[in-house]
Amino acid sequence: MNLFLLFGCTPPPQAPDNLEQLSDYLFAHSFDEDTEALEMGVQNLKLWLSDDLNLANTVEGYQVNKLENESVATLDEKERMIQDTLIGAAIAYEHTLTVEEIIETCFVENWADVYDGTYELYEREFSEDPSCLLDKSCSEISYQTNSESKWAGLISVTSETHGQLRWVKIPDVGWTFLLRNWLYKPASVEPESLGIIVNAQYYLMMMYPSDDGTLIRTSMTWIDTDYGILPFDEDWAKNQVVSNMQK
C-alpha cells in the first residue's frame, strides 16, 4: 500500500442534523431501564429511513461526529470525556436475512471463525449463553471481548471491549434488536514507535422490521484515534470508518 496516495480524498457527506442528533440520542438511551426514550428514538429513526432517498443515502454512509459527554457517562465506572478529535459515521442496510440469523452468526457462533484470518487472538465472554436471544428466552445480556489483530500485517492492536445486547418490542416498529459496545480502555498499538493511539471507540447497531417485510440494520460508530507518524489525514480516516462499517 502506498500510504501517500491516501491524502486528499473526499470525506463522506455530513449527516443531516436530525440523523446526527438521533445517533447521539439513541446511543445514550439504547439501554435505559425505562424504554420510553429509546422507543421514541427508534420510531423517529424508522420514520426518517422510510423515505427512500434518506435510506439510499444512509446506505452510502454519513459522517456523524456529534456525541455528548452525557451519552457515555454511565456506560461503566470509568470517567469518559469526548474529545474534539472524535470522528464518526452512520450507515444503514436493508436485509432479507432475519434478525435471528444475524444473531446466530455474530454472537452464537465463534466470531473469530466467522472472520477467519482477522484476529491473532479473540476471546469473548457472555453474561449468559447468547443462544437464549434466538427464542427471546432472555431479553438482555452483556459481554466482554479481548482481541488482538494485525493491520497490514505490521501493526498489532490489542483491545478490550465491553458490550450489551438487547431485545425491545417497540410500538409501531415491532421487535427491535440492539447492540451497544465501547472500548473499555485505550487500545494497545505496537510498534509504539509509530505513535498510534486509539483513545476511544463507541458503537451502536439496531435491527428492526421494515413495513415491506425486509430487515433494516442501522449502525453508528465514533472513534478517537491519533495516527502518530503515519501520513493519514482526517478525510481519509472518515472514509475508512465508513468503509469498515460497510464490510
Which three cell numbers mark 196? 498510534
DSSP state at residue 187: B
Which three cell numbers mark 107? 454472537
Which residue in 233, 242, 181, 220 sits closest to 5, CA to CA?
233
Q: Is the dihedral of CA 208, 214, 220, 221 positive or negative?
A: positive
210-226 pLDDT, tens digit per residue, is: 998 899 999 999 999 88
Distance CA(97)–CA(236), nearest Å, equals 32
Burial class of residue 69, CB neighbours in 10 A (0-12, 13-18, 19+): exposed
pLDDT of residue 245: 65
For the cut 80, the answer to whether the pLDDT of residue 64 exceeds it is: yes
Distance CA(67)–CA(84), nearest Å, equals 10
pLDDT of residue 1: 31
Lowest mean pLDDT among 6-20, 115-129, 179-193: 6-20
Binned at pLDDT 50, 70 and 90, residue 114 comes out as low
The helix-helix angle for 52-60 and 36-49 (nearest 10°) equals 100
pLDDT of residue 13: 66
Mean pLDDT score, 35-47:
95
DSSP state at residue 14: B
Which three cell numbers mark 227? 495516527
Specify the pTM: 0.88
For the cut 70, the answer to whether the pLDDT of residue 181 exceeds it is: yes
CA distances from 55 to 63, 96, 122, 129 (A): 15, 16, 33, 34
Q: What's the chain's Rg over C-alpha atoms?
A: 18
DSSP string, 70-91: HHHTTSSSS-----TT-EEEEE
Helix H or strand E segment including 17: helix 17-29
For the cut 50, the answer to whether the pLDDT of residue 4 exceeds it is: no
Which residue in 180, 228, 206 sits closest to 49, CA to CA?
206
